C-alpha cells in the first residue's frame, strides 16, 4: 500500500490549514504527523483517510493498482479520541460488530481481542458505562487487531494512564510491523518508534 500526495492543500473558508504537501507514505514504514494543538494534524489525517477531500492537489492510493478514494475505508483502521462508539452496545457486541466489516489479524478472534483488552469481566457491559480510558483501549484494540494495511492513530494515548501507554506500545511491537502506520501526535512517547516525520508547520503558507 502506498499513499502519494501531490501539491496537497486543505483550507476552511479562506484560511489554509496546510498547502503544497508532496509526500509518499509507503507500507512497512511508520510516520509521525507532528504539530502543536490546533495546527491541522487531525485534518491531514482525515484527508489521508478519505474523510475529507483536499482543497487542492491530488492524493493517490496504490496497492498493485490505484484504489478509488471512496473505497479506501476498507484498507484502513483508525483509533482516535473523537471516534464514536455505539454506546448502547456491550463490549462483546462492539467487537462482533466491528469485525463484520474488517478481518481479524491472523491468529486472532473475538476471545483473543477480549484477552488483549483484559476486560473480559466487562464484556456484557454497555460501553456507556465504560470510563474514557476503557473506551480508548477498546478503540485501539479494534484498530490494531484488524487486518488492514493502513493503521492510523490520532492522539493514541489520550485518556490512558501510564500502564495504558505501556500497553499501547506493546501493541505497536506486536501488530504494527508490516503496516503503513500514521501517528498524529505532539507527545514524543507516542511516536518515538516512527522513523519518518512530517511537521504540519512546514506546510503553512
User: Do 72 and 49 contact (CB within 8 A), yes or no?
Assistant: yes
Q: How sure is the predictor about 22, in pLDDT bands with cuts at 50, 70 and 90?
A: very high
pLDDT, tens digit, 9 for 90 and up, residues 134-160: 999 999 999 999 999 999 999 999 999
Q: Is the pLDDT of residue 70 over 90?
A: no
If you average pLDDT over residues 24-31, what whole number do you get?
Answer: 96
Cα–Cα distance measured from residue 116 to residue 62, given in angstroms and rounded to the nearest whole number: 32
Q: Is the pLDDT of residue 205 over 80?
A: no
Contact residues for 51 (Cβ-Cβ < 8 A; gap 6+)? none
Cα–Cα distance measured from residue 105 to residue 167, given in angstroms and rounded to the nearest whole number: 18
Q: How sure is the predictor about 204, in pLDDT bands with cuts at 50, 70 and 90?
A: confident
pLDDT, tens digit, 9 for 90 and up, residues 96-139: 999 999 999 999 999 999 999 988 888 999 999 999 999 999 99
Q: What CATH number has the domain spanning 2-203?
A: 3.40.50.300
Alpha helices in 49-126 (DSSP H): 91-98, 110-117
Percent of the chain with pLDDT over 90: 90
pLDDT, tens digit, 9 for 90 and up, residues 76-97: 999 999 999 999 999 999 999 9
Q: What is the pLDDT of residue 168?
A: 97
Average pLDDT of the chain is 94
Cα–Cα distance measured from residue 155 to residue 173, given in angstroms and rounded to the nearest whole number: 18
pLDDT, tens digit, 9 for 90 and up, residues 168-189: 999 999 999 899 999 999 999 9
If you average pLDDT over residues 47-64, what whole number do you get?
Answer: 93
Amino acid at each position: 500500500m502506498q499513499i502519494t500526495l501531490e501539491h496537497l492543500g486543505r483550507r476552511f473558508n479562506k484560511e489554509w490549514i496546510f498547502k503544497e504537501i508532496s509526500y509518499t507514505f509507503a507500507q512497512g514504514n511508520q510516520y509521525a504527523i507532528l504539530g502543536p494543538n490546533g495546527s491541522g494534524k487531525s485534518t491531514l489525517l482525515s484527508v489521508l483517510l478519505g474523510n475529507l477531500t483536499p482543497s487542492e492537489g491530488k492524493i493517490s492510493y496504490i496497492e498493485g493498482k490505484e484504489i478509488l478514494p471512496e473505497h479506501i475505508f476498507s484498507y484502513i483502521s483508525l483509533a482516535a479520541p473523537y471516534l464514536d462508539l455505539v454506546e448502547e452496545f456491550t463490549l462483546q457486541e462492539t467487537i462482533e460488530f466491528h469485525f463484520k466489516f474488517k478481518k481479524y489479524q491472523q491468529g486472532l478472534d473475538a476471545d483473543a481481542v477480549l484477552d488483549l483488552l483484559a476486560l473480559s469481566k466487562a464484556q456484557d457491559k454497555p460501553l456507556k458505562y465504560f470510563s474514557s480510558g476503557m473506551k480508548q483501549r477498546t478503540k485501539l484494540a479494534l484498530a490494531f487487531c484488524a487486518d488492514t494495511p493502513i493503521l492510523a492513530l490520532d492522539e493514541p494515548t489520550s485518556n490512558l494512564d501510564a500502564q495504558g501507554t505501556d500497553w499501547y506500545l506493546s501493541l505497536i511491537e506486536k501488530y504494527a510491523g508490516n503496516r503503513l502506520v500514521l501517528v498524529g501526535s505532539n507527545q514524543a512517547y507516542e511516536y518515538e518508534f516512527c522513523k519518518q516525520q512530517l511537521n504540519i508547520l512546514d506546510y503553512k503558507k
